[in-house]
Amino acid sequence: MNDVVIVNCTVTDARAGASKSAEGRIADAAVWIRDDRIAAVGPREQVLERVGEAQRLDLDGAYLTPGLVNMHTHLSLSLPGQGGDNVKNMTAHELVLYMADGARRTLRCGVTTVRCVAEKDHADFALRRAIESGRATGPRIFTAGQALVCTGGHGHEANDTMECDGVDGFRRGVRTQVKAGADLIKIMISGGIAGEHESIDTPQLFSDEMAAALQTAHAWGRKVTAHAGPAAVIAEAVELGLDCVEHGYQLTPEVAKRMAERGTALVPTLLVTRCKEFFDELGVPEWMQCRSLGAGPRHLESYAMALDAGVDVLLGSDMPPFWDFEGTNASVRELECMSEGGLGPAGALYAGTLGPVRWLGADADLGTVEVGKYADLIAMDADPLTDTSAFRGVRWVMKGGRVVRDDRSGWEKQ
């Protein structure tokens, strides 16, 4: 059994930001890890009295938080352009190895859980099994499998989507993903920035198709998230019971208010409308760059509306979580944008940890530094409750009680 006690750290989680809870903020703390879970957490001397001969792991005064959760992940992302074409042209074997490398890099940057929202060929399920069995290194994976899209709809060009039409088609689509092992369902209900023959505000599903997908998923105990841009389309889906909106480029105050009332979360993915450097790196064509970057100002307005209405906003980068971008990785840069856009450091800590796992129904195991939860932890030298950019300094990562990154020694668990 793994038996280690972490010392010389300040425990910080989202409970401290929300309610000034003493359990969420402990200076000179110790965290006892037995096997893959937290056995005790509290002031150092109190914990050490119970520990006995467990190995000590000194974090040199770091701030210790739960690992980040990225709720909009595509490990097999292939945008229009040369970079995306390279991924589309991979064999099945090459694709899985490519995704496994992305998973390893994702975990190393401090993202210990991801929600995949459209992956190619159901390779995500094979990758998840490999990670869970210890044959590959990566974050915990919750996945939608393939996203459901109407014929010719948003994302139909790649095999990370399944084309469906009509009530029966969308019911079958949901059941197909559940059969494969999906934890949630994703539907594409409007156009977006990456579809050449559509616009952001193009409606793509009829009411009966949306209702069929939602009813079937909910009957199987799965939540549904939707790629969605325009307010009118989102409003209709919210009334039908949608659980989460991805992007929300063109919200209105009225629709944001209704989302808050109905408990519909928002994963704003702010980076996707302000990432020219990323697009240039992948060779994304001019038409997509213009559409994406041109949507940026309205996108920020929509995000502000969601915050004003009290919508639960959650971290999701859309870019690969580990991607080097503007001096950090995409997950941290997205969280900074959310914080700078009005959420603030305490809200950002919640949006990157406890909020997502509550949506996933995993808060009994993840999201805070509490007894009984998985030891999925990260450490940094600055205080994330003071400045979200503290996450740029993540230098130590643990998942399930095993250290997978420690910059002090330059060591990485293989």
Measured in degrees and rounded to the nearest 5, phi and psi for residue 294 equal -70, -25
Grouping H, G, I as helix, E, B as strand and the rest as coil, residue 31 is strand
Q: What is the mean pLDDT of residues 237-266?
A: 98
Q: Any idea where the domains of the chain sit in the sequence?
A: 3-67+368-406, 68-360
Q: Give the pLDDT score at 410.
A: 54
* Cα–Cα distance for residue pair 161/163, rounded to 1 Å: 6
β-pair partners for 184: 223
β-pair partners for 179: none
Q: Give the pLDDT score at 278.
A: 95
Tell me the CATH class for 68-360.
alpha beta
pLDDT tens column, 347-377: 999 999 999 999 999 999 999 999 999 999 9
Task: Say if residue 345 is exposed, middle or buried (CB neighbours under 10 Å; 0-12, 13-18, 19+).
Answer: buried
| Whole-number Cα distances in Å, 374 to 69, 113, 163, 166, 393 | 14, 11, 37, 42, 22
Tell me the CATH class for 3-67+368-406.
mainly beta
* Cα–Cα distance for residue pair 322/392, rounded to 1 Å: 12
Grouping H, G, I as helix, E, B as strand and the rest as coil, residue 345 is helix
* Cα–Cα distance for residue pair 162/270, rounded to 1 Å: 26
* Cα–Cα distance for residue pair 270/343, rounded to 1 Å: 13
Q: Give the pLDDT score at 408.
A: 86
Answer whether 111's CB lies under 8 Å from 68's CB: yes
Q: Give the distance between the most distant pair of CA atoms in the chain.
A: 66
* pTM, entire model: 0.96
* Cα–Cα distance for residue pair 323/72, rounded to 1 Å: 13
Answer whether 153's CB lies under 8 Å from 147's CB: no
Counting residues of the chain whose pLDDT is more than 70, the rounded percentage is 97
| Residue that has been written with the tokens 């937290």 in this structure | 38
Q: Give the pLDDT score at 250.
A: 97
Q: Give the pLDDT score at 18.
A: 60
Give the residue with greater pLDDT, 112 vs 201.
Answer: 112
pLDDT tens column, 265-277: 999 999 999 999 9
Q: Give the pLDDT score at 17.
A: 74
Place 413 in a pLDDT band, splitting at 50, 70 and 90. Answer: very low
Place 164 in a pLDDT band, splitting at 50, 70 and 90. Answer: very high
Residues ≥6 apart with Cβ < 8 Å to 306: 248, 251, 256, 259, 266, 268, 313
Q: Give the pLDDT score at 122.
A: 97
Strands 37-43 and 25-34: antiparallel
* Cα–Cα distance for residue pair 93/58, rounded to 1 Å: 41
Q: What is the mean pLDDT of residues 191-204?
A: 89
Answer whether 190's CB lies under 8 Å from 233's CB: yes
Backbone Cα Rg of the chain: 21
* Cα–Cα distance for residue pair 400/113, rounded to 1 Å: 11
Q: Give the pLDDT score at 22.
A: 59
Answer whether 23's CB lies under 8 Å from 34's CB: no
Amino acid making up residue 203: P
What tokens appear for 179 in the block? 């059969």
Amino acid making up residue 315: L
